[in-house]
Chain A
Amino acid sequence: MKFRTLALGGALCAALAGMASAEVKVGMITTLSGGGAGLGIDVRDGFMLAIEQSGRTDIEVVIEDDQRKPDVAVQLADKLVQSEKVDVLTGIIWSNLAMAVVPSVTAQGKFYLSPNAGPSQLAGRGCNKNYFNVAWQNDAFNEAAGAWASENGIGKVFLMAPNYPAGKDMIAGFKRFFKGEVSEEVYTKLGQTDYAAEIAQVKASDADMVYYFLPGGMGISFMKQYAGSGAEKPVMGPAFSFDQGILGAIGEAALGVKNTAHWSKDLDVPGNAEFVESFVAKYDRLPSLYAAQGFDTGLLLVSAAEKADVSDADAFRAALEAADIQSVRGAFKFGANHHPIQTIYMREVVKEGDVVTNRIIGTAATDHTDAYGADCKM
């Protein structure tokens, strides 16, 4: 699928007015079909909202569907670079797709702004001056959760994640900041839908809390089954399993669950309430974390395009590095490895009227940065 926001008239006016900025062409590769489409749609909608609100008509966005297949994503990246001749790429949701696309795109001198997915390789040894992660390094939410759990007197945890690299990264991130004891560490099958066996293990274990990373449908299944099992240990996880798009499907079973995120719709920072309002007005649903990340990515792109011409790569890069934006997450800046330094909050799932949603209950980590920056030689 593909659609374009293009107005030659606007570009012409800008040129006539003698402004420094010229047309920017953006290629967005994201997941718009199949089971993971909800995330891609949110990123796309948030991103396009930011572009639209900027009032700039000379930013052209070409959107493509990667179907969550790495080889399709690679092919689309080739197409966008070779045939559409885009200046900036963005949009990828999944770590494995990012690993397939980002190194070759940045090697060809294009900018890549990640609105989601921050594999550790790209933050450390594989970092690149043209790669900017606007979302988070994969470990960040988990590290913050680990710190929060230690501070709040959790002694023993039960850890669980799917048996694949992102899952292992997330668990490693939690353990990095958690001072207590790990009572059990379980790796489940990727795409597993029945967690009866794991829940029985949770109940039999001596842990004080369950910490898990199970994105998408896996998390929905686990939480529904956990709530019905009579297990009473509190549950915590990174926000991915408790986000707005998913909470609707879990329902009240998720009430009381704590999760870490850099954003929440009730976060009281300038611009956030307006973002939520305009998102609801335009798309008739509550924005998710992914929508917020898409929106911030859009803001970042617009801010850089305001300051520099994309054909001047060094100036454009400097404008991106400055990150002169009013992020819906509040204070936002990039570390030396182009990954965010940001505050991560603890949220709790609550019911507001009929809607199950998140609210912030505290700060889990302030000005948090990632553990890999030291390996990054740009």
Chain B
Amino acid sequence: MTRETLFNLAVLAGLIALPLYAHLAEEPFTITLATRAVILSLAAVGLNIALGIGGLVSLGHAVFFGIGGYAMGILAFHAQNYMPLMEAPFLIEGTKSMPMIWLVAVIASALAALVIGLLSLRTSGVYFIMITLAFGQMFYYFAISWSAYGGEDGMSIYVRNDFPGLNTLVPIQFYGLCLAALVLALGFNGALARSRFGLALNAARQVPERVRAVGLDPFRLRLVAFTISGAITGLAGALFADLNRFVSPTMFSWQLSGEFIVFIIIGGTARLFGPVVGACLFVVLEHYIGGWSDYWHIWFGLLLLVIVLFGRGGVIGLIAGKARAHG
């Protein structure tokens, strides 16, 4: 067992133990904070499939986060107001059932990722960063002016959606759901990285010519990775919307896309647990530095700078040493 694996297990143990402790100590807000960290981790794990393995720096992943959020918002909005989503040609009702919402969120964001990927992956490097940013802005402005679903005000959902057999209003139970989703996504990510697909994708990032030489198409590899990546981030969006019981266009904002990248780099690029460590650290810092002064963004910015400039390899790099397989 490598130091990195040990460290990952320790992180996972912390994610289980800390909220349980908070639950027993009756500090529900700590659980809320942990839920936020876990959901943001999940979003960044999604991005990490495109970015970590595929080398695709997407500055527009908030699009999928937002689509997931709006999938939840729209379905639950129709369900809570007893308005069918669509009457012709066939009736579609809204729903308050989480599994149903998740399914819709995943499919919708995967479709969006497929289309955006088809268009964006023709470019590379900085152009790719910028075209994904452009798609993000398009969705952002569209959501602002989409008055049927609240426009800039967004939509409030009064009660959290249901999951069979659980009471999602109890913070620890909802946290458990989110953590389970994160663990599944991490497991999937780990398996993907080791699979033939993951190896080919990694090779396509480093030497596309060689991949082409063995008869694989780097474009298609990247497109598949981007689609999977978008789907996972979309799921996170649906959970995030449920955590806040609220969706708004800020879920599409480019700053949020930037934050996802920040999580991955803080934690360590191309590390399985990089996004998790980064997101947790980010949430904790945001929460506690916020209490220091009126101008806490300055300190936060300086801290980020120090991490990028001197902490190469991110937190995991500092603790667990150099990465093995990835270059």
Interface residues of A (CB under 8 A from B): 1-2, 32-33, 64-65, 69-71, 74-75, 78-79, 82-83, 95-96, 99-100, 103-104, 107, 119, 163-166, 168, 189-190
B144 within 8 Å of A by Cβ? yes
Contact A79/B293 with A71-B240, A164-B145, A189-B141 known, Cβ cut-off 8 Å: no
Contact B36 A75, beta carbon cutoff 8 Å: yes
B97 within 8 Å of A by Cβ? no
Contact A83 B27, beta carbon cutoff 8 Å: yes
Cα separation A100 to B291 with both chains bound (whole Å): 23
Q: Which of B32, B147, B293 contacts A168 (CB 8 A)?
A: B147
Q: Which residues of A contact B151 (CB under 8 A)?
A: 164-165
Q: Which residues of A contact B150 (CB under 8 A)?
A: 99, 165
Q: Which of A1, A95, A163, A190 contacts B291 (CB 8 A)?
A: A1
Q: Which of B141, B158, B248, B291 contacts A96 (CB 8 A)?
A: B248
Contact A95/B153 with A1-B291, A33-B295, A103-B158 known, Cβ cut-off 8 Å: yes
CB closest chain-A residue, reference B147 = A165
Q: Mark B17-37, 1 if CB is under 8 A from A, else 0.
A: 000000000011110110010
Contact B158 A69, beta carbon cutoff 8 Å: no
B205 within 8 Å of A by Cβ? no
Q: Which residues of B contact A190 (CB under 8 A)?
A: 144, 152
Q: Which of A78, A82, A96 contacts B153 (CB 8 A)?
A: A96
With both chains docked as a complex, state the minimum distance between the C-beta of B246 and any C-beta of chain A, in angstroms. 4
Q: Which of B32, B294, B296 contacts A75 (CB 8 A)?
A: B32
With both chains docked as a complex, state the minimum distance between the C-beta of B140 and any C-beta of chain A, in angstroms. 10
With both chains docked as a complex, state the minimum distance between the C-beta of B92 and any C-beta of chain A, in angstroms. 25
Report the count of interface residues on B (CB-CB < 8 A).
33
Contact A33/B294 with A69-B250, A74-B246 known, Cβ cut-off 8 Å: yes
Cα separation A32 to B296 with both chains bound (whole Å): 11
CB closest chain-A residue, reference B298 = A33
Contact B250 A71, beta carbon cutoff 8 Å: yes
Q: Which residues of B contact A83 (CB under 8 A)?
A: 27-30
Q: Which residues of A contact B5 (CB under 8 A)?
A: none
Contact B156 A1, beta carbon cutoff 8 Å: no
B99 within 8 Å of A by Cβ? no
Contact A100 B28, beta carbon cutoff 8 Å: no
**Secondary structure dominating the interface of B:** helix
Q: Which residues of A contact B29 (CB under 8 A)?
A: 78-79, 82-83
| Number of inter-chain CB pairs below 8 Å | 86
B167 within 8 Å of A by Cβ? no
Q: Which residues of B contact A33 (CB under 8 A)?
A: 294-297
Q: Which of A2, A70, A119 contacts B246 (CB 8 A)?
A: A70
B78 within 8 Å of A by Cβ? no
Cα separation A100 to B248 with both chains bound (whole Å): 9
CB closest chain-B residue, reference A79 = B29
Contact B244 A74, beta carbon cutoff 8 Å: yes
18 pairs of residues in contact across A and B, judged by CB atoms under 8 Å: A33-B295, A71-B248, A79-B29, A79-B33, A82-B29, A83-B30, A96-B153, A99-B153, A99-B154, A100-B246, A100-B248, A104-B158, A164-B151, A165-B147, A165-B150, A166-B152, A189-B141, A190-B144
CB closest chain-B residue, reference A119 = B153
**Secondary structure dominating the interface of A:** helix
B321 within 8 Å of A by Cβ? no
Contact A71/B147 with A95-B153, A107-B158, A190-B152 known, Cβ cut-off 8 Å: no
With both chains docked as a complex, state the minimum distance between the C-beta of A83 and any C-beta of chain B, in angstroms. 4
Contact A79/B147 with A2-B291, A33-B294, A103-B158 known, Cβ cut-off 8 Å: no
Q: Which residues of A contact B156 (CB under 8 A)?
A: 99-100, 103-104
Q: Which residues of B contact A164 (CB under 8 A)?
A: 144-145, 151-153
Contact A1 B290, beta carbon cutoff 8 Å: yes
Cα separation A199 to B154 with both chains bound (whole Å): 30
Contact A100/B244 with A1-B290, A65-B290 known, Cβ cut-off 8 Å: yes
B312 within 8 Å of A by Cβ? no
Q: Which residues of B contact A168 (CB under 8 A)?
A: 147
Q: Which of A64, A69, A82 contacts B28 (CB 8 A)?
A: A82
CB closest chain-A residue, reference B293 = A1
Cα separation A99 to B151 with both chains bound (whole Å): 12
CB closest chain-A residue, reference B22 = A83
Q: Mark B231-252, 1 if CB is under 8 A from A, else 0.
A: 0000000001000111010110
Q: Which residues of B contact A104 (CB under 8 A)?
A: 156, 158, 245
Contact B145 A163, beta carbon cutoff 8 Å: yes
With both chains docked as a complex, state the minimum distance between the C-beta of B161 and any C-beta of chain A, in angstroms. 14
Cα separation A277 to B297 with both chains bound (whole Å): 33
Cα separation A189 to B244 with both chains bound (whole Å): 27
Cα separation A370 to B150 with both chains bound (whole Å): 21
Cα separation A331 to B296 with both chains bound (whole Å): 41
With both chains docked as a complex, state the minimum distance between the C-beta of A79 and any C-beta of chain B, in angstroms. 5
Q: Which residues of A contact B295 (CB under 8 A)?
A: 33
